[in-house]
Amino acid sequence: MSDIDSLLHEDRRFAPDPDFAAQAVAGSELYDRAKADRLGFWADQARELLHWSTPFTQTLDWNNAPFARWFADGRLNVSYNCLDRHVEAGQGDRVAIHWEGEPGDSRSLTYAELTAEVKRAANALTSLGVRHGDRVAIYLPMIPEAVVAMLAVARLGAVHSVVFGGFSAESLRSRIDDANAKVVITADGGWRKGKVFPLKPAVDAALADGKTSVESVLVVKRGENVVDWTDGRDRWWHDELAAAAAEHEAQPFEAENPLFILYTSGTTGKPKGILHTSGGYLTQAAFTHKAVFDLKPETDVFWCTADVGWVTGHSYVVYGPLANGATQVMYEGTPDTPHPGRWWELIEKYKVSILYTAPTAIRTFMKLGREHPQKFDLSSLRVLGSVGEPINPEAWIWYRDIIGGGKTPVVDTWWQTETGAIMVSALPGVTTTKPGSAQVPLPGISVDVLDENAKPVGLGSGGLLVVTEPWPAMLRGIWGDPERFIETYWEKFDFEGSPNRRMYLAGDGARLDEDGDVWVLGRVDDVMNVSGHRLSTMEIESALVSHPIVAEAAVVGASDENTGQAVVAFVILRAKQAEAQTSEEASAILRAWVAEQIGAIARPRQILIVSELPKTRSGKIMRRLLRDVAEGREIGDTTTLADTSVMSVITDTLK
C-alpha cells in the first residue's frame, strides 16, 4: 500500500439504523428517479419545494454553455417563498429563528414576525431608491437583521452582496466598488469574544474619498458603540423601519433573476464575485437542506454555525431552512465565550436536533476535552453535518461519539461557494457512512475524478474533481467578468465540437476509493483553506508587497493540526529595513498589516524573514520547497532551482 492509500484507508462503517431509516425523508428511490431522468427529478423538486407565480415549462437551457438557465420561463419571489407562504399556510406562529446574542440576550422570531420585519425593511429600502437589479452590500454581525436585510433585498428583486464582518475596510471597499453597491447595511458593532467589535468605522473608511456608488448607509444598533455620522448618507435602521409601511406585496421575478453576489478567493489577487440566481439556487438549497439533514420542519431544530458572510450561511442559515419552513438557532458569538461549553449549552437550551459545523471547530472541541459537552444534555441531536474542509476520521468519530452519543449519522458535505449548495454527501438513513469520505454525489448531481487528459481515473486513484452535468444551484458567472468565469472553471475540460459537454473544474484534488466513494484531498490551485475559510496565496502576497518595508514575498499554506492549513509567509525586506529592524519586529508589523489589509482571518501564523526565495530558471517561486520549510520537513528535490544553494541559505537564516 502506498502512503496515500494507507492514509485514506478506512475500515469503519456505520450502516443506517433501521428505525431511523424507516422514518427518513430520503430513500434510495431518489437516486433511481434522478438516474432515470435527471432533469425530471430537478423539475419535480422545484415544483414540490417552491411556490411559482408562473410555472416553468422548460427545466434547463444549456445551449449557451457554460451559461446555464434553469426553469427560465418560470417566475417566483424568493422572499415570498421563505416567508409569506408559510404564514399563509397557517405556520405563522412557528419560530423561524431562535437568536442568541453572545452576552446572553436572546430573541425568538416567528415566521409571522420575520415576515413583518422583512416587509418593513423592503419598504425602507424602496424609499432609499433600491430597485430591481440594484446591488446592496451587507456588512453585519450574526444578528437577525442580517437575515432580514438579505430577504428584504431579495424581495425587491435586488442583489445582495454580503461581506463577512471580519473583513477589513479595504476588502469591503473593493467589494462595494466591484458590485457598484447603492446601499450598505451595517451595524454600530457586534459581540465577539466578550467585546464589541466595530463595523461602522470600516464602512466610513471604505467610503471616505467620496468616489463611491453608495448613496445611503443603514446602521443597525447592536453594540452601543459611538459612531461617526455622515448626514444625508447615514440612517438608523430602526428609524427607517419604524417609518416604513407595514404592508409589502412581493412581486414575482424571473427564475434567472440575480439573487446574490458572494466574493471568494481565487488564484489571482482579486476576489471573484460569484453570481447566483433565484429559482435553481433556491430549489437545490431547499432540496439539500431537507434530504441531507433529514429535515422534519414541524419538529426539528436546526443549527448551522456558519456566519452569513460565507456561502454556508447563505444556503443553510437563510435560504434552505427558511424555504423549508424550519426552526433554527442563530448564534452571534464565538464558541468559547463566556465558557467553553457555550455551544452545548445552546443545544440543550433549544433542543437542537440537527447540527451543521466545520471540522476546525470539532478539532478545537476535541482539544478542549469531552468534559465540556458532557456537562450538557445533547440527547436531542439526531443528525450531525460537517463542511468546509476534509474531516479527519478521528474528528469524525469523536463528533459521532461525544456529540452524537454514538448514534447519530454524520454527513460530510462537499460543496463550494460556486456550487451554491451541497453536491457530494451521504444521505442519513440511506447511506452507510464512512469516516473521512464525503462519499457520493447527491441524486441529480454527477461528478467524476479525471486525470490531466480528461480520462476518468477509476476506482482507487486520484485526480481532479469535476462536475460533469449542470446543476440547478450552479454559479451563473463571475460578476462583470465572463472571460474569467470560462477560463477558471470551464476551459480545462472543454470538448471541442461539443460545447455542451463542458465539465466544471472544482479546483479540488480527489480520490475514488475501492467502493467508488469520493475523498476530497484539498485544493490543487493557489487557494488555501484556513479553518474552512478560503484564502488566496496571491492576495496575501499582494498585501505584503504593498508594504514599504517589503521587497518580495511568497506565501504558502502549511498543514496545521488545528486550522487544517495555516498561512506562512516568506518575506525579503528592503535592504535599509533589513538593517534597521529585527526579524521579530518586521514580522509583527507585517502580520498586523495583512490583518488590516484583508482581515484577521488572513493574518499569517508565521512570517519568516529571509534573504532569498527559491526560484526556477524562469523566475517562478517554488512554493513546494517553502512548504517543506514551513512544515519542518526535509527539503524536497531542488534540481530545477536556478540557484540550488538557495534552500540552504534560507534554512541557515531561519536557524
Residues lying near ligand PRX in the complex (CB under 6 A) are found at 264, 311-312, 387-390, 412-417, 438, 506-508, 520, 522-523, 529, 534
d(Cα 582, Cα 615) in Å, to the nearest integer? 25
| Alpha-carbon dihedral 273, 278, 280, 285, rounded to 10 degrees | 80
Nearer to ligand PRX, 44 or 418 (CB): 418
C-beta of 162: minimal distance to ligand PRX in Å? 13
Q: What totals of helices (H) and strands (E) does the chain contain, helices first?
A: 23, 30
C-beta of 476: minimal distance to ligand PRX in Å? 16
C-beta of 49: minimal distance to ligand PRX in Å? 20
Using Cβ positions, the residue closest to ligand PRX within the complex turns out to be 417
Q: Which amino acid is at 572?
A: I
Nearer to ligand PRX, 111 or 396 (CB): 396
d(Cα 551, Cα 521) in Å, to the nearest integer? 34
C-beta of 318: minimal distance to ligand PRX in Å? 14
Give the Å distances, CA to CA, from 411 to 264, 289, 310, 516. Answer: 24, 12, 20, 17
d(Cα 562, Cα 477) in Å, to the nearest integer? 34
Nearer to ligand PRX, 79 or 439 (CB): 439
Nearer to ligand PRX, 269 or 522 (CB): 522
C-beta of 195: minimal distance to ligand PRX in Å? 26
C-beta of 447: minimal distance to ligand PRX in Å? 12
C-beta of 595: minimal distance to ligand PRX in Å? 19
C-beta of 522: minimal distance to ligand PRX in Å? 6
C-beta of 410: minimal distance to ligand PRX in Å? 11
Nearer to ligand PRX, 98 or 523 (CB): 523
Nearer to ligand PRX, 255 or 304 (CB): 304
Element (H, E) at 560: strand 550-560
Candidates 303, 307, 301, 261; CA nearest to 281 is 261
Nearer to ligand PRX, 21 or 601 (CB): 601
How buried is residue 2: exposed, middle or buried, by Cβ count under 10 Å (0-12/13-18/19+)? exposed
d(Cα 183, Cα 180) in Å, to the nearest integer? 9
d(Cα 137, Cα 260) in Å, to the nearest integer? 10
d(Cα 604, Cα 107) in Å, to the nearest integer? 37
How long, in residues, is the chain?
A: 655
Nearer to ligand PRX, 340 or 522 (CB): 522
Element (H, E) at 520: strand 518-523
C-beta of 58: minimal distance to ligand PRX in Å? 29
Nearer to ligand PRX, 139 or 414 (CB): 414
Nearer to ligand PRX, 157 or 313 (CB): 313
d(Cα 478, Cα 486) in Å, to the nearest integer? 9
How would DSSP label each residue in 305-359? ---TTSHHHIIIIIIHHHHTT-EEEEE-S-TTSSSTTHHHHHHHHHT--EEEE-H
d(Cα 363, Cα 643) in Å, to the nearest integer? 41
